[in-house]
A = this chain, B = another copy of it.
Amino acid sequence: MSQNIYDTAEFFAGYSVMRRSIEGLDGAAEWPAVQAQLPDLTGKRVVDLGCGFGWFARYARSAGASSVLGLDMSQKMIARAKVDTRDEAITYGIADLEELQLPAASFDFAHSSLAFHYVSNFVRLVAMVHRALVPGSHFVFTIEHPIFMAPRNAGWSTDSEGRRIWPLDSYAVEGSRTTDWLAKGVVKQHRRLGTTINTLIAAGFTIRHVEEWAPSEPDLAEHPEWAEELDRPTFLLVTAER
């Protein structure tokens, strides 16, 4: 059983007021990059692992998906997703990604946004997703970038000349990282980028795209505060094919 910090009052309150929780997909900096990786969803059976408030589930339906299964371990998020959704082709359920089993060959597309870095047994999860997808289908997910997650002190610092630096260390030391983000003691699982890629390959996936998200010039014109993403990435986006 995974840590379920998402249902604590502190975490849920903080999560609920994040821009991406209020504005949905358009409130997430990395969404246009994710969207660019999506296949044509028309008629596809979609599963969303870590669906939160259901923003992606509803988007997938608007983009033509025939059905969407949205899963999350947060009871509060699933409750809110159900309230916010009027669509019988969307099903929500509570699930722990450490233990979830999906029926074989039952989905045509799998998505996950910023959930897998909470999962310890990524090897099991990836093998399970592979089995659940039909051949030729795509798997698009984001996680926190390992550069973002690795350091003991994962926060900006300055060098002797006063310039912003990201104090990287422990990059090759895989395993748990405990941080205070929205709530105290949130446990994340650090894996090197190569480990994530090799796990997908070992499960039988073909790597189609690896994106270490950074803002474009137009992005920066609109959001100058995103400039720090040029110094170190927060988001890693991967597209794999079953």
- A interface residues, Cβ below 8 angstroms from B: 147, 151-153, 157, 159-160, 163-173, 192-194, 197-198, 201, 206-212, 214, 229-233, 236
Contacts and interface: CB of A to CB of B under 8 A. Distances in A.
Given A166-B171, A197-B197, 15 more contacts: A147-B147, A157-B160, A165-B167, A165-B168, A165-B169, A166-B167, A168-B168, A168-B231, A173-B230, A192-B233, A193-B193, A194-B210, A194-B211, A197-B210, A207-B207
Query: Copy number in this complex?
Result: 2
Contacts of A147: 147, 168, 171
Residue among A173, A194, A230 with the most chain B CB within 10 A? A194
Contact of A172 (B167, B172, B212): B212
A166 B164 CA distance: 12
Contacts of A170: 230-231
A232 B169 contact: yes
A161 B210 CA distance: 35
13 contacts: A157-B159, A157-B167, A163-B169, A164-B169, A165-B168, A166-B167, A167-B167, A167-B168, A172-B214, A172-B230, A194-B211, A194-B236, A198-B211
A96 to B, nearest CB: 28
Given A165-B167, A167-B167, A209 B214 contact: no
Nearest to A215: B172
